[in-house]
Chain A
Amino acid sequence: MAISDLKKLNIDQIQTGFKTGNFSSEELTQAYLNNIKIDKHNAFISINEQALAEAKQADKQIKAGQGTPLTGIPLAVKDIIVVKDLKATAGSKILENYVATYDATVIQKLKQAGMVILGKTNCDEFAMGSSNENSYFGPVLNPHDKERVPGGSSGGSAAAIAADLAPIALGTDTGGSIRQPAAFCGIVGLKPSYGRVSRYGSMAMASSLDQIGPMANTVRDIAHLISAIAGFDKNDATSSKAKVGDYLAALDQDAKKLTIGIPKEYFSGGIDPEIKTAIEGQIRLLEKAGLKIVEVSLPYTDYALAAYYLLMPAEVSSNLARYDSLRYGGLCLEKKDISLDEWYKEVRSIGFSPESKRRIMLGTYILSAGYYDAYYKQAQRVRTLIKQDFAKVFSQVDVLLTPVTPSTAFKLGEKSQDPLSMYLSDVFTVSANIGGICGLSLPIGKDKNNLPIGLQLLADAYAEEKLLTVGNFIENLNK
């Protein structure tokens, strides 16, 4: 394989390239940096000037036989995850010049494993959006059709992989922000179970829902990444001590021993008929291949999105209170004679996007006296019902199979003036975050406009191995 041929590279192919001497990590990194330089999708916000030096170091390790499976593999990082000495803007004007002072736990782990950081990818401001149109640095364009959105909020990470600007990326998923852009861009994305991966160093959006996860071209690559980043971290009190699985071995487990549930609530309502047909086609393929398929019900599904748009803005309004343009750099106003209160209002009004302001306002309303009981507490109770729904269903089946999104990638500007219609596009993904379970999005084909269609697999908390077993099986079936 020639270095000029960067199409859809996976970790195994790259390792083979290193071993056979076809290319070095330095050459590969340079090739990706060249692609990033001429990129027309606006996928990156900043580049790591040390990338080539890191790649050289990785080459030394590989030569000395000290590499891990990830040594020398280039990585793109969503700009909401901090990497020491690199800018971390979270897609926001209010952090435009902020340089991170430490490495997130996932970054420490991946640096330790020898990965090479290419740069930081564009995203909706503070990970808030489903289209990547809420970035201060401009929208990301979908590599399959530049007039369409790449999905959000990890749109830059998804587009980077789809446009061959990186083979692997990190994203974050609070209500679908890894799975939905993965579906829109035709790549694979995993939202790990809540607590599976440390959130230390991921700027908090909605702390009870946020998770960091990997995005890649293949399910196998996802297994490599989650193996490296999963596990308890004393710096994140919500990270779990549950045993970390053998994710690579899971790829070779027998999918036919697992039972697949089809939740009927995910196939009614406003789903695009082409997506429905494609998913049903996959179900028939699996059945033919010998997997047991059963219809199941998650009766509270209809309330999940409503609960999400109460819990999430409430937590957002608290988490975004810290951005005052004093402590994290930011907008240095020339105004000297204003009070602290006026300063806050001034910098936050200039520094936040309309969507951030909208969510802060909603959250402030939801948490205010008189409404807290009617909204926030009620939403916490709905969360209990959704958890019970999943607990019941996962006592009957191993994995749920659903669409990721009700439509394929929509046009830029199509929903940006109508927040509610934008929010409704998260309908199939938010439940996993509310319930704390894990979800995998993988591409299964294209619609009549040649846009990717994604399929979602959901499994119980800390059952990522089952997702990988079934995900790998489906990927192979579709080869």
Chain B
Amino acid sequence: MKLSREEVEKLADLAKLKLSDEEIDLYQKQMKEVLTYVDKINELDLEKIKESLSGAEDSKLGPRPDKATLSQPEIIKQACQMEDSYMVAPNVFDN
């Protein structure tokens, strides 16, 4: 099982996590151990087996339609910072 330090750094970036050098070293080691263990499923010949999405009969329903169940003020009142009735978030694009 190969997992380079650079790969771990790249994963942290994708996962939106800022890791210290110690954390990167630790996760590199621990992830290798876990991935080596889980790789045992590749001993199986699975080519002709269909995939199951869950333990139940795969639902044909699909997701329920989204609908608002609460008012906007109720939902956003826990935001850190508000301006008028809007939540303030950091800039998405550089100025």
A residues adjacent to B (C-beta < 8 A)? 97-99, 101-102, 193-195, 208-209, 234-235, 237-238, 240, 302-303, 306-307, 309-310, 317, 321, 325-333, 338-346, 348-349, 352, 354, 357-358, 360-362, 364-365, 368, 374-375, 377-385, 387, 419-420, 423, 433-437, 461
**Contact partners of B94 in chain A: CB under 8 A:** 339
B residues adjacent to A (C-beta < 8 A)? 3, 7-8, 11-12, 14-19, 23, 27, 30-31, 33-35, 37-42, 44, 46, 49-56, 59, 61-64, 69-70, 74-75, 78-81, 87, 89-92, 94
**Contact partners of B79 in chain A: CB under 8 A:** 326-327, 329
Q: Could you tell me if A317 and B51 are in contact, using CB atoms closer than 8 angstroms?
A: no
Q: Which residue of B lies closest to A97 (CB)?
A: B78
Alpha-carbon gap, A342 to B12, bound state (A): 12
Q: Could you tell me if B42 and A346 are in contact, using CB atoms closer than 8 angstroms?
A: no
Q: Could you tell me if B31 and A362 are in contact, using CB atoms closer than 8 angstroms?
A: yes
Q: Could you tell me if A377 and B34 are in contact, using CB atoms closer than 8 angstroms?
A: no
Taking the closest CB of chain B, its distance from the CB of A377, in whole angstroms, is 6
Taking the closest CB of chain A, its distance from the CB of B39, in whole angstroms, is 8
**Given A329-B80, A384-B50, A346 contacting B18 (CB threshold 8 A):** yes
Q: Could you tell me if A102 and B27 are in contact, using CB atoms closer than 8 angstroms?
A: no
Q: Could you tell me if A208 and B55 are in contact, using CB atoms closer than 8 angstroms?
A: yes
Alpha-carbon gap, A383 to B51, bound state (A): 7
**Contact partners of B44 in chain A: CB under 8 A:** 303, 378, 381-382, 385
**Contact partners of B23 in chain A: CB under 8 A:** 354, 357
Q: Could you tell me if B34 and A328 are in contact, using CB atoms closer than 8 angstroms?
A: no
**Contact partners of B18 in chain A: CB under 8 A:** 345-346, 348-349
Alpha-carbon gap, A321 to B15, bound state (A): 8
Q: Could you tell me if B89 and A326 are in contact, using CB atoms closer than 8 angstroms?
A: yes
**Contact partners of A368 in chain B: CB under 8 A:** 11, 14
Q: Which residue of A lies closest to B49 (CB)?
A: A381
11 contacts between A and B (CB under 8 A): A238-B56, A343-B90, A346-B18, A358-B27, A361-B8, A365-B31, A377-B51, A378-B44, A385-B49, A423-B34, A461-B56
Taking the closest CB of chain B, its distance from the CB of A385, in whole angstroms, is 6
What total of A-B pairs shows CB separation below 8 Å? 172
**Contact partners of A345 in chain B: CB under 8 A:** 16-18
Q: Could you tell me if B51 and A384 are in contact, using CB atoms closer than 8 angstroms?
A: yes
Q: Could you tell me if A378 and B42 are in contact, using CB atoms closer than 8 angstroms?
A: yes
**Contact partners of B91 in chain A: CB under 8 A:** 339-340
Alpha-carbon gap, A303 to B44, bound state (A): 9
Q: Could you tell me if B80 and A349 are in contact, using CB atoms closer than 8 angstroms?
A: no
Instruction: Give the contacting residue for B63; candidates A194, A237, A331; CB below 8 A.
Output: A237
Q: Could you tell me if B50 and A329 are in contact, using CB atoms closer than 8 angstroms?
A: no
Q: Could you tell me if A209 and B53 are in contact, using CB atoms closer than 8 angstroms?
A: no
Alpha-carbon gap, A423 to B56, bound state (A): 24
Q: Could you tell me if A381 and B50 are in contact, using CB atoms closer than 8 angstroms?
A: yes
Q: Could you tell me if B78 and A332 are in contact, using CB atoms closer than 8 angstroms?
A: no
Taking the closest CB of chain A, its distance from the CB of B41, in whole angstroms, is 5
Alpha-carbon gap, A436 to B52, bound state (A): 11
**Contact partners of B69 in chain A: CB under 8 A:** 102
Alpha-carbon gap, A346 to B78, bound state (A): 19
**Contact partners of A385 in chain B: CB under 8 A:** 44, 46, 49
**Contact partners of A329 in chain B: CB under 8 A:** 78-80
**Given A309-B38, A423-B34, A342 contacting B15 (CB threshold 8 A):** no
Q: Could you tell me if A420 and B33 are in contact, using CB atoms closer than 8 angstroms?
A: yes
Q: Given A329-B78, A361-B12, A378-B46, 20 more contacts at CB 8 Å? A: A306-B37, A306-B40, A307-B41, A309-B37, A310-B41, A339-B90, A341-B16, A354-B23, A357-B19, A362-B35, A365-B7, A380-B51, A382-B46, A383-B54, A387-B55, A419-B30, A419-B34, A433-B55, A435-B55, A461-B56
Q: Which residue of B lies closest to A317 (CB)?
A: B15
